Amino acid sequence: MANSLHSSTSFISNPVNFGHSKIPAQIPGSVSFPSRYLHNFNLNKSDRRVLRVMACSGVEEVQVDVSLSPRVNAVKPSKTVAITDQATALAQAGVSVIRLAAGEPDFDTPVLIAEAGINAIREGFTRYTPNAGTLELRSAICHKLKEENGLSYTPDQILVSNGAKQSILQAVLAVCSPGDEVIIPAPFWVSYPEMARIADATPVILPTRISENFLLDPKVLESKLTEKSRLLILCSPSNPTGSVYPKNLLDEIARIVAKHPRLLVLSDEIYEHIIYAPATHTSFASLPGMWERTLTVNGFSKAFAMTGWRLGYIAGPKHFVAACNKIQSQFTSGASSISQKAGVAALGLGYAGGEVVSKMVKAFRERRDFLVKSFGELEGVKMSEPQGAFYLFIDFSTYYGSEAEGFGKIENSESLCRYLLDKAQVLLH
């Protein structure tokens, strides 16, 4: 089971934190917040809260303004992190947990890539790199995008970051203004709406149908676009559904996008190499008229089993990428020099990662086929067969409202996940 394809439950638009806030260990000179002060801690945007709390520094009491910014209060906690923390706590208590929730391959980083990182350390390649990334890596990315995606970029149109997640957030911050709308087809990666909120933008969620493989209906898109629409986020292959957008559907979406000069597209292509024939990947920026308005995000975590190396990138028109570069320069600066050397080695494995990646994709496909067959035999379970990525997005709604002995009512997919973790020690999200 530990080697099974990662599974997800049915879509929830409002993540809930299953765990409890953890108070940091006390540090000399810091302020501790006893649990009695933390109850019912609901700060409105305009609230300022001052508490009298016991101090750790020898002073009997201190006054502390514990208010948080409206921006932080608008962001919901990650339910993925919360339930994963719950599973980790069980594991630390000696309970064996079957983890089917993490969005990462269970393969080791390929040896040639790992050796490149090790050699970088041995050769002293451990200093800061340019903020945008080494010229060597950016040039390799340009070559990859040209050969595999039909996209022409120069190194100054590439920004290397500490993972694709950082690339996406910086792009949202760079192009969105307060009140702008970020268009997100559902089901979606849970971070997209929160990134919009961090940028003081409004996430607009567009529904899709399981009968249509959770692909965005162009008519629905067209009906929801307004003068406030600033960014459309597309993810293909999709996290969490595994759906792959065919070129003819992307062409329809592109024709609609072209009618709205203010609308940009962020194309999240991190799963492009994890795809199952006959499905094929099309980069949105390769469509007529879309290069100028598309920000393409990709990285190394998924296809090359490099999640811990934290290496991603964005490609796009120079003025947009320069804006992202400026944000990164005041945020994290450049990505790890060691990871960048490993990234160059990864791109040197051949077209689409060569045999190393194809072996992993073959294993993912075998797992997908096994799980689709197995879940398909369960009464009331519905799913759309994934064409890419390594997720199953399963509709368990037929079980909602059921009473589970020793647990209570299974009200939705969140409580189903808690039930499976509590009773079967299986982690889903």
Q: Tell which residue, 337, 325, 259, has the closest CA to residue 295.
A: 325
Distances (CA, A) of 32 to 9, 38, 69, 72, 413: 38, 11, 20, 21, 35
| pLDDT at 250 > cutoff 90 | yes
Residue 141 contacts residue 347 (beta carbons within 8 Å):
yes
Match 């799963």 to its residue by tokens: 271
pLDDT of residue 146: 99
pLDDT bin (cut points 50, 70, 90) of residue 36 is very low
Residue 273 contacts residue 361 (beta carbons within 8 Å):
yes
Averaged pLDDT for residues 231-240: 98
Residue 19 contacts residue 86 (beta carbons within 8 Å):
yes
Averaged pLDDT for residues 103-115: 96
Q: How far is 104 from 390, CA to CA, in rounded Å?
A: 8
pLDDT of residue 373: 96
| pLDDT at 307 > cutoff 90 | yes
Please name every residue paired with 185 in a beta bridge, in sequence order, or none if there are none.
206
Averaged pLDDT for residues 313-329: 99
pLDDT of residue 26: 33
pLDDT bin (cut points 50, 70, 90) of residue 229 is very high
Residues 6+ apart with CB under 8 A from 262: 227, 229, 230
Q: How far is 69 from 57, CA to CA, in rounded Å?
A: 26
Q: Which two structure tokens, joined as six digits, stand for 111?
A: 């040896």
Percent of the chain clearing pLDDT 70 (strictly above): 87
Averaged pLDDT for residues 322-351: 98
For 185, list phi and psi in degrees, rounded to 5: -65, 140
pLDDT bin (cut points 50, 70, 90) of residue 193 is very high
pLDDT bin (cut points 50, 70, 90) of residue 55 is low
- 330-357: string of b/e by CB count within 10 Å (b at 16+)? eeeebbbbbbbbbbbbbbebeebbeebb
| pLDDT at 24 > cutoff 70 | no
Average pLDDT value over all residues in the chain: 89
DSSP string, 173-187: HHH--TT-EEEEESS
Residues 6+ apart with CB under 8 A from 327: 170, 173, 174
pLDDT bin (cut points 50, 70, 90) of residue 12 is very low
| pLDDT at 360 > cutoff 80 | yes
Residue 201 contacts residue 182 (beta carbons within 8 Å):
yes
CA 77 from centre of chain: 14
Q: Which two structure tokens, joined as six digits, stand for 186?
A: 């559902």
Q: Where are the alpha helices (DSSP H) in 9-104?
A: 35-38, 70-74, 79-92
Tens of pLDDT, residue by residue over 138-188, are 999 999 999 999 999 999 999 999 999 999 999 999 999 999 999 999 999
Of 22-31, 188-197, 218-227, 230-239, the one with minimum mean pLDDT is 22-31
Averaged pLDDT for residues 25-47: 38
pLDDT bin (cut points 50, 70, 90) of residue 54 is low
Averaged pLDDT for residues 53-80: 81
Q: Which two structure tokens, joined as six digits, stand for 258?
A: 């072209």
| pLDDT at 131 > cutoff 60 | yes
pLDDT of residue 182: 99
Percent of the chain clearing pLDDT 90 (strictly above): 79
pLDDT bin (cut points 50, 70, 90) of residue 400 is very high
pLDDT of residue 34: 35
Match 């990947």 to its residue by tokens: 281
pLDDT of residue 58: 67
Q: How far is 332 from 74, CA to CA, in rounded Å?
A: 23
pLDDT bin (cut points 50, 70, 90) of residue 1 is very low
pLDDT of residue 162: 99
Q: For the chain, how many helices (H) and strands (E)?
A: 13, 16
Q: What domains can you pick out in the chain, each with its CATH number?
A: 71-106+356-427 (3.90.1150.10), 111-354 (3.40.640.10)
pLDDT bin (cut points 50, 70, 90) of residue 76 is confident
pLDDT of residue 59: 66
Higher pLDDT, 285 or 103: 285
pLDDT of residue 243: 98
- 23-35: string of b/e by CB count within 10 Å (b at 16+)? eeeeeeeebebee
pLDDT of residue 222: 98
Q: How far is 204 from 171, CA to CA, in rounded Å?
A: 17
User: The whole model's pTM is what?
Assistant: 0.86
pLDDT of residue 57: 65
Of 46-60, 131-145, 150-164, 284-298, the one with minimum mean pLDDT is 46-60
